[in-house]
Amino acid sequence: MGVVTPIADHPERFVDALLEGRSAISRWRFFEDDRVYSKVGGDLSGYDAKAKLASLSERLPGAVASRLRKIFRGAPMSTRLSMLCAVDAWLDAGLPFEGGDMAERTAVIVGGHNLGERYLIENFKTFGEEPDWIDAHAALLTLDTDHAGSVSEVIGSHGAQYTLGGACASSNISLRSAVDEIRHHGHDRALVVGPTFDFSAMGLHAMALMGAITFQSFNDAPERASRPYDVDREGFVPSHGTAVLVMEDYEIARARGATMYGEVLAVVATSDGNHLPNPSTDGQARTIQRTLEQAGIAPEQVGYVSAHATSTPLGDVSELRAIRAAFGDHAEQLKINAPKSMLGHTCWSAPAVETVAALGQMRRGRLHGSINVDTLDPQVDLDVCAGGSVDHEFDVLLKNAFGFGGTNCCALWRRVD
């Protein structure tokens, strides 16, 4: 696994920060415009990617370090973070970079779309001033496929590479495809890349005008802005974040003595047949139920749900109702928490970023709290860890992801001893 967020850029330190209840949210630093309503988010625009690059280069074969530095120089922010995370995850997996047949049997799947929004808009502004001043590589770098191509080139992968867009369920959908690539398409492993959505000021303002994100009450107290399950929640908090999961055939991973953080039991995607961003309790419940059925797992075997919980008035309650409908009486025994209460909503990468957190918590037997629950919404009738971190041993977890346009995708994971 590899991860970069505003609170940590290493999986272990990332889980440490969550267990401590540390917020990733600050005021946005990449723009200054009083006309833009959105003032707070999880901002990685000041992240020292060059320091991370230097640190990783020391651990890489010379040819690989040279490729990474070369592509890094001209890459937009989001692609840079994807490459750094992918290299980190590959090193964590203990895999060689020059693997012969391994290269042909490794896939790269990026979960996200419209990734370089800020890069595109900045070049469009430059074009308005003087067309010849735009980035000469903009025709390539504005394509989402550049993410997959850049990661593949650095890792040395010659297997399938592509991008999948499913709004905020994108990284879970790419996990589903990774499983399919390994089961059905001749790959031994696949990288699931959850890329940073590089927001623009225009995009943030558009989401505020739509009423999707918070901007009314917490611009001067950013760390309090993301508050799933609290009565004063008013919309999600956009955030930067990248994560990469290296998925591998179980027997191959076991044979080479790889550290295995968890085993995927099932990944199920459905839709609500509705292009609008309003959540569907029935659609979410149906997705959870199908995931349990596909895995052959009884509701009572699941001990923890890493909730989608975006801090929206409708979404948080809709998801809890779906959990109750899918799990029945066992819902009362579940532990549920909201990683977005600290991380904000990393959008396309959220399922991957939050899976790193969920698997880390499973290994430690301890769950982080859902922060900023000052007054619990009376409609919240399940255990959402509102009191802080708690010890909790469990063997099976559910990771929920629900995106705009009625896109649902849930993943079920099991502990590997």
* Upper half-sphere CA count for residue 206 (Cβ side, 13 Å): 6
Residue 253, both tokens: 């991973």
Q: How many CB atoms lie within 10 A of CB 153?
A: 17
**Any idea what DSSP says for residue 345?**
B
Residue count (the chain): 417
Kind of pairing between the strands at 242-248 and 189-194: antiparallel
Q: Which residue has the tokens 């009738």?
A: 381
Q: Does the annotation mark 168 as catalytic?
A: yes
Q: Does the annotation mark 345 as catalytic?
A: yes
d(CA 381, CA 321): 9
Q: How many CB atoms lie within 10 A of CB 174?
A: 34
Catalytic site residue from 147, 187, 240, 345: 345
Catalytic site residue from 85, 168, 347, 410: 168
Q: Does the annotation mark 113 as catalytic?
A: no
Q: Which residue has the tokens 């930067």?
A: 240
Catalytic site residue from 308, 368, 385, 410: 308
| Runs of H (alpha helix) within 111-194 | 117-129, 138-141, 145-155, 170-184
User: Which amino acid makes up residue 100?
Assistant: G
User: Which amino acid makes up residue 55?
Assistant: S
| Runs of H (alpha helix) within 328-364 | 340-343, 350-364
User: Which residues belong to the active site?
Assistant: 168, 308, 345
